[in-house]
Structure 1
Amino acid sequence: MPDPYLVVDAENVAFGSADATYPNLSQRLGIAGLETSSPEYEAAVRLAMRVASQFSSAPLVAAADEAIDNRDRNLGNILWDGTNEAWIDHAFALGNGAQLDDVNKLCEMAVYSGLSEEMRSSSTTQWMLMDRNKPDMVKEELDTVIDTSTQARFVADRLNQLGMRLLARFPSPQDLLSVP
């Protein structure tokens, strides 16, 4: 995982990370060099989505993306050296992506890859394991630099509804009580 950095100027705070020195998933699988309308491109994108959905950290990242309202997870924001993955670029999180469609792209990747059941159950399990006190703990640490009350409240509010939000990202299972 790349080292995180907090950059503070007179009025703003930005979060960043060190260069991990390895390519993103799209580069690693050669997608960038393919023509976007070609069958090869479609096959490579489908493979990349499946790979991303099967990383052991993917369910936690799907839950975290939902908690912070990160609407811009994409193949370029997943670094992978063939062994290790790193999830980067959260610029559109915490309400900064309100102009984007309300989606959890990692959940969509799992649905598209036929892995929705696995991701649905694993990401909701990760949500149940999340420490509900963490937003306040992080706020206390960052308060020495900048007031993060709004962001901590934003995440805490989303954590309270996260299970239902995650379940809504996937097709509903059909059972005896489902209405056809």
Structure 2
Amino acid sequence: MQIERTTLIPGTEQSLGEGNSKPFRAQVRLSTGGIITVICKRLEQHKIAAECFAALVLRGWGISTPAPCLVLAGNEVLYGSQDAAYPNLKQRLGWSDHLPDQYKEKLIVAAATLLASWSQTGVVVAADEAIHNVDRHIGQVLWDGGEPVWVDHDQSLGVADLPDRNKLALLLSACGLHNQVQTSAVSHALTLSDNGLLEAAESAAEAGTYQFAEFVANRLPALASRVVARFPQPNDLFAGLQ
């Protein structure tokens, strides 16, 4: 799949009011002349590259992720993804930074409960570990009551300046809901393939994908061990007996 190169249609922008990249919804014109709606983000070039490559790889692994595109807006090149038109999980649950802490805690547990119930969560935990996505929070999961859609990968592939975390595993573990997802995540970590990595890098070459294919390929052999380490470990049965 080649990265679609599109052109922003001025006057169609609608701010989404969330995120450091100031995302907005807009209509763009395809190279074929058609018009679609996308979510645009202003990012540094290496983060646009990470978004494009990660989206192609995750789609290749069967994960519900919007198709990426490049958006020409005057002299700027923006990252775009096809608009799923869903609220994100924070919005769906009614999250607000102004809520009392006890309500936030309940919403966090509700989000974790939903995540634990979805069949794709295990493979997404493994995939996030493979691409080293350190910022998968609940605002990056779109949900309309059916199958979730997973978005925003600009904090992956070694381009992020954030702590080394797998946020899905951390959230599920903190809520005591990790057991069923851990098994699925480890199983998928053993089966994710490097097939398609080079093709994804070539497809996104226009975005400047650096050495992302090699980066992910180098993480795959030990991926199951990496995933296991993200979850609580069983207590040592012999602890305290010596």
Letter in 2 for 1:155: V
Kept after mapping to 1: 8 A contact 2:157/2:212: yes
Letter in 2 for 1:152: A
Report % sequence identity. Answer: 36
Cα shift readout 1:73-100 (whole Å, capped 9, x = no counterpart): 0111000001121000001011121x21
Q: Distance in 2 between matches of 1:151 and 1:8?
A: 21
- The yes-or-no answer on 1:24 pairing with 2:88 is yes
Distance 1:14 1:170, change over 3 A: farther
Which residue does 1:151 correspond to in 2? 212
TM-score (norm 2): 0.64
Higher helix content, 1 or 2: 1
Higher strand content, 1 or 2: 2
Question: Secondary structure in 2 aligned to 1:31?
Answer: coil
Distance 1:132 1:43, change over 3 A: same
Distance 1:80 1:71, change over 3 A: same
Shift of 1:162: 0.8
* 2:181 aligns with one of 112, 116, 119: 119
Cα shift readout 1:14-49 (whole Å, capped 9, x = no counterpart): 7541121110001111112x6343312211122112
TM-score (norm 1): 0.84
- The yes-or-no answer on 1:166 pairing with 2:194 is no
Letter in 1 for 2:89: L
- The yes-or-no answer on 1:86 pairing with 2:133 is no
Distance 1:8 1:153, change over 3 A: farther
- The yes-or-no answer on 1:77 pairing with 2:163 is no
Q: Distance in 2 between matches of 1:20 and 1:161?
A: 33
Which residue does 2:198 correspond to in 1? 136
Question: Secondary structure in 2 aligned to 1:129?
Answer: coil
Kept after mapping to 2: 8 A contact 1:53/1:106: no
* 2:125 aligns with one of 62, 85, 97: 62
Shift of 1:8: 7.5
Question: Secondary structure in 2 aligned to 1:120?
Answer: helix
Letter in 2 for 1:20: A
Distance 1:2 1:131, change over 3 A: closer
Q: How many residues align?
A: 174
Long gaps (5+) in structure 1: none
